Amino acid sequence: MTTTVQAFAPVSKEDLAFIGTDPIPTEPYYRSDYFELEREAIFKRSWIQMGHICEIPEPGSFIVRAFEAGNASLLITRDRDGEVRAFHNACPHRGTQLVQVDGGKRSRFTCPYHGWTFSNQGKLLAAPEADKFYINPSDCTLPAVSVGVCAGFIFINLDKSPRQSLQEYLGPLVAELEKLPHARATTYSEYTYEVDANWKLTYDNFQENYHLRFLHPRSGEAAGGPQNPYGYPTRYGFHDPHRSQTIWSNPDAKPLPFQAFAFGKGARHAMEAGYKLEDKEYFGIFPNLFILGAAMTPFSQCIMPIAANKTRSIIRLYWIGEDDSASKRFAREYAMATALDIHCEDRAVIEAGHRGLASGALSHLHFQSQEVLCRHLYNQVDKRVQAYKAELENRGASE
């Protein structure tokens, strides 16, 4: 097995100054009124990742997803023609949530309240005593939601008329994402946890390596080495509103014997699938998804806002093929355990950061050059919030 040693070329702060250098106001990281603006300006208008195509592998498959930031429950199905569709999980009769389970396989869905039945294409199939209504119930289809798929990831958009298709929204990143192992995944490992902190603080923790040597001296050992002691990325990319970075790995890292076994098996399986081990690109998809395109650990994390001070993190590792050998199962389980270990070290400091900001003691926070992706996220969020506020003002002036 041979790998390419990636030399470290530092990115200077002068190279990154165009993103901005001013202190950042703290209130957007904890105020409820700002969070409400984010919900309307961003989460109800952007493409949001809700699942993966491997969860609905055949006609009749469906999943249900809670989306608190959009005040929605979403029913995502694959119809008899294989097309992926998405609907609000709400019966158009009286609004009752139609499906009460997380997923499965059905060709039709029946409301538990009054028995209205719908196809997985959203069409009303039956409504008891339909002749007693004052409208034609056949016009009462399930409320559709815009849906798109890229690299196997299923995205939805609550905007009734999205300004861009998913492919337009992702732009040049589409071609890069479609190369990733995630695009061919047939299964995944997952864990979720909730953090008592704002969603931007939670996201920011996972898009800067400035904290690695302080918070992860053990679990992050492989990230740093003589060439690059702090494990900083070799490149940053900005694809408004998205961002990327190239992750550097320590070629001199010395894993323990059981780690070497797990890494070796994972590397062999990745190469058998046709992926290069040195490829480690991080993609931050606005507003709340990031994807690590590493062959051995095809990782994604979706940061789901629940409230101004609460966030759900959904972490997945995507795999091609089932666990058909003990060594493959061990390699995958170890990769997942390693990710969980790192996240356990992060959670407390994220919450401590939120408590510190929410106290109101600080008017501004400060980002250095290696936290440039954090600044970029704030810039993109605030740009949309301010545009939405102006939209409201203009609307009020015209009424």
Question: Over the stretch 74-85, which tens digit does the pLDDT of each residue have?
Answer: 999 999 999 999
φ/ψ (deg, to 5) at 91: -70, 130
Are 94 and 53 part of one and the same domain?
yes
pLDDT at 323: 82
Q: Which of 101, 129, 161 is the last residue of a domain?
A: 161
Are 85 and 123 part of one and the same domain?
yes
Would you tell me how many other CB atoms lie within 10 Å of the CB of residue 337?
12
pLDDT at 270: 56
Question: Over the stretch 369-393, which tens digit does the pLDDT of each residue have?
Answer: 999 999 999 999 999 999 999 999 9
Q: Is residue 167 part of a domain?
A: no
Provide the sign of the torsion angle of the four alpha carbons 394, 397, 398, 399, taken in this order: positive
pLDDT at 2: 31
SS3 347: helix
Q: Which of 161, 191, 211 is the last residue of a domain?
A: 161
**Angle, in degrees to the nearest 10, between helices 326-358 and 257-272:** 110
Residue 9, pLDDT above cutoff 80: no
pLDDT band at 331 (very low <50, low <70, confident <90, very high): confident
pLDDT at 3: 35
Kindly report which listed range (24-28, 179-183, 393-397) carries the lowest average pLDDT score.
393-397
Q: Is residue 67 part of a domain?
A: yes
Are 73 and 153 part of one and the same domain?
yes
Structure tokens at 253: 């890292």
pLDDT band at 4 (very low <50, low <70, confident <90, very high): very low
Whole-structure pTM value: 0.92
Cα pseudo-dihedral 304, 306, 310, 315, rounded to 10: -20
Q: Answer for the pair 263, 337: CB distance below 8 angstroms, yes or no.
A: no
pLDDT at 160: 93
Q: Is residue 166 part of a domain?
A: no
- For residues 333-356, average pLDDT: 89
Question: Over the stretch 141-151, which tens digit does the pLDDT of each residue have?
Answer: 999 999 999 99
Are 277 and 364 part of one and the same domain?
yes
Q: What is the DSSP letter of 182?
A: G
Q: Which residues contact 28 (CB under 8 A, 6 or more apart)?
A: 34, 200, 378, 381, 382, 385
- For residues 94-120, average pLDDT: 96
Are 293 and 273 part of one and the same domain?
yes
Are 128 and 37 part of one and the same domain?
no
**How many residues appear in the chain?**
399
Cα–Cα dist 168/374, whole Å? 24
Q: What are the helix and strand counts (H, E) for the chain?
A: 9, 19
pLDDT at 253: 64
Structure tokens at 168: 């337009």
Q: Is residue 281 part of a domain?
A: yes
Would you tell me how many other CB atoms lie within 10 Å of the CB of residue 79?
18
Residue 343, pLDDT above cutoff 70: yes
Provide the sign of the torsion angle of the four alpha carbons 231, 237, 243, 244, taken in this order: negative
Strand partners, 67: 72
pLDDT band at 317 (very low <50, low <70, confident <90, very high): very high
Q: Answer for the pair 184, 178: CB distance below 8 angstroms, yes or no.
A: no
Number of domain units in the chain: 2
Cα–Cα dist 121/138, whole Å? 13
Q: Answer for the pair 334, 323: CB distance below 8 angstroms, yes or no.
A: no
pLDDT at 8: 64
Give the residue among 52, 382, 28 at the shortest CA–CA distance from 190: 52
Residue linked to tokens 């992702």: 170
pLDDT at 252: 64
Would you tell me how many other CB atoms lie within 10 Å of the CB of residue 395?
9
SS3 236: strand
Kindly report which listed range (35-44, 55-64, 210-219, 227-236) carries the lowest average pLDDT score.
210-219
Mean pLDDT of the chain: 89
Would you tell me how many other CB atoms lie within 10 Å of the CB of residue 47?
27
Are 301 and 323 part of one and the same domain?
yes
Give the residue among 86, 93, 54 at the shortest CA–CA distance from 70: 86
Residue 279, pLDDT above cutoff 90: no
Q: Is residue 336 part of a domain?
A: yes
Structure tokens at 309: 């001070």
Are 85 and 129 part of one and the same domain?
yes
Q: Answer for the pair 283, 290: CB distance below 8 angstroms, yes or no.
A: yes
Question: Over the stretch 183-240, which tens digit does the pLDDT of each residue have?
Answer: 999 999 999 999 999 999 999 999 998 888 888 776 555 566 677 878 888 899 999 8
CATH classification of the domain holding 92: 2.102.10.10
Alpha helices in 278-371 (DSSP H): 326-358
Q: What is the DSSP letter of 247?
A: P
Query: By residue range, what is the domain housing residue 226?
Result: 1-45+172-399
Above pLDDT 90, what percent of the chain? 69
pLDDT band at 256 (very low <50, low <70, confident <90, very high): low
Cα–Cα dist 254/228, whole Å? 16
pLDDT at 378: 98
Are 131 and 245 part of one and the same domain?
no
Residue linked to tokens 């990327």: 244
